[in-house]
Amino acid sequence: MAPHVLVIAGLDPSGGAGLIADVRTLAEHGVGALGVATALTEQGHGGVRAVNPVDPALVGRQVAALLAGEPVDAVKIGMLGVPATAAAVAAALAAARSVPVVLDPILRASSGAVLLGDDEDAGRAALLALLRRATLVTPNAIEAAALCEQAPPLTLAAAAGLAQALRARGARAVLLKGGHLPAAASPGETVDVLDAGDGPVLLRAPRLAAGAHGTGCALASAIAAHLARGAPLREAVEAARAFLTERLRTAEARGGARYLY
């Protein structure tokens, strides 16, 4: 049987990010998908207009029901909608201690829309609690800075310092995505920092046009697909980055944004 990934994420009806993009990414990797929607967003041309969270207790019950009987080889957590959903998911995951979890700690959309409620302190606390359960957390530079209550990093050294700071807050492994670092930090390249406890590893890729919708969702899902197949962490991260680089090359403009799918 093909491995299965449980996706816990928001619904973007345009399909560019969230559950639909996650399931498509998993399918491209030959991996089955189970899906729990945390929020129904209203979005289209111009970005996210509104976020309608699903009842956190319902999200928790759905995750618990799947973990009780379905094959789950990895879990990918994306947008949670409200902090209480992070707590409900953390509680449900206690029943699946050995399953790898990839946490994309989403706070805002690229357009600026709030995706984890208006109370930043509560959002940060909820993500930090969930982060302790994650095999890998995949913040961008801005999310990493917000989680550590620091200024956004301007250099690769500062990014590596932030990844370490997240490990000090309980993350087992951190992939700090470099897409939001200033271009001067790594001219011509996008550099991600992977810190799994044995020092920072810089992962380089050519800098492609920024601004495609749902890139973080696709990357985290691709990593989860490889972990579900049993790949070691670094191998899973490198294969997923290669997949995303290829997808970014072929991204298409639609409705005012660039879409991977």
Residues near ligand PLP (CB under 6 A) are 9-10, 12, 17-18, 41, 48, 78-79, 106, 109-110, 213-217
Q: How far is the CB of 189 from ligand PLP (least distance, A)?
A: 20
DSSP label at residue 70: S
Nearest to 70 by CA among 43, 95, 101, 39: 95
Residue pair 193/212 in contact (Cβ under 8 Å)? The answer is: no
Q: Return the structure tokens found at 71.
A: 């094959």
Q: Return the structure tokens found at 106.
A: 């989403």
Q: How far is the CB of 21 from ligand PLP (least distance, A)?
A: 8
Which residue's CB is nearer to ligand PLP, number 110 or number 186?
110
Q: What's the one-letter identity of residue 256?
A: G
Q: Return the structure tokens found at 131.
A: 């982060």
Which residue's CB is nearer to ligand PLP, number 78 or number 161?
78
Q: How far is the CB of 234 from ligand PLP (least distance, A)?
A: 24
Q: Measured in whole angstroms, how far is the alpha carbon of residue 169 from the centre of its chain?
A: 18
CA–CA separation, 46 and 191 (whole Å): 28
CA–CA separation, 260 and 224 (whole Å): 18
Residue pair 10/37 in contact (Cβ under 8 Å)? The answer is: yes
Q: How far is the CB of 77 from ligand PLP (least distance, A)?
A: 10
Q: How far is the CB of 20 from ligand PLP (least distance, A)?
A: 9
Q: Nearest residue by C-beta to ligand PLP? A: 18
Which residue's CB is nearer to ligand PLP, number 8 or number 196?
8
